[in-house]
Amino acid sequence: MSFFKELSAEETDLVVSLPYRVGYWMSQVDNMEKTKRDDKWERAALDRAIRKVSRQNGYNSLQRAVMKEVDQNRARWQEWSSKCEDEVLFSDIGLALDLVRIKIHPKALPQYKKILWYIAQCVAQAFGEDDDPDQEMHINHLFSDLKRMLFSSPLGKSPKNISEVEKTALKKLHAALKS
């Protein structure tokens, strides 16, 4: 937790909770069907993304540290999911970005932004509302792309196999991360 040594407990909680909260928020923006199967798939993708980044070498050390904390705080996920309304979430994104830039390190900011962005993309692509004929959730290729994308410099474009509502949500998140 050396990345978090300059943060208070409340600030650490904010920085650590956001990847989960962004993923959960994305799972809620589009209810494609009455069965909630899309939400279940999207939350499973969120869980897999958290475990993957937290446990694999090759990711930026800040990304792994944050995601390891997210993974180790599973007992708090329900509490965190109650803080995903747009106004609260986007206010907290701005605060967390400032904390990372000021108290962790300015060079850590792009990597933190990328983890938020790609968690959201991973969840958005999980159900594949617009393009998933075999219903395999596009997870297998997504994780290899995730690793490649985490090290690229700009925030990427929205994937094509998501609903219009999810595209709009990703644009909103992208704008918040660019500011």
Instruction: Tell me the pLDDT tens digit for each residue of 6-39.
Output: 999 999 999 999 999 999 999 898 766 555 666 7
The pLDDT score that the predictor gives to residue 146 is 53
The pLDDT score that the predictor gives to residue 44 is 87
pLDDT band at residue 133, thresholds of 50, 70 and 90? very low
- Spatial CB neighbours of 151, under 8 Å, sequence gap ≥ 6: 60
Which residue would you say has higher pLDDT here, 27 or 94?
94
The pLDDT score that the predictor gives to residue 3 is 86
pLDDT at residue 130 is higher than 70: no
What burial letters (b/e) apply to 11-20, b meaning 16+ CB within 10 Å?
A: bbbbbbbbbb
- Residue 75, by phi and psi: left (phi above 0), alpha (psi -120 to 50) or beta? alpha
Check: pTM over 0.95? Answer yes or no: no
Based on the number of CB atoms within 10 Å of its own CB, is 79 exposed (0-12), middle (13-18) or buried (19 or more)? exposed
Average pLDDT, the chain: 82
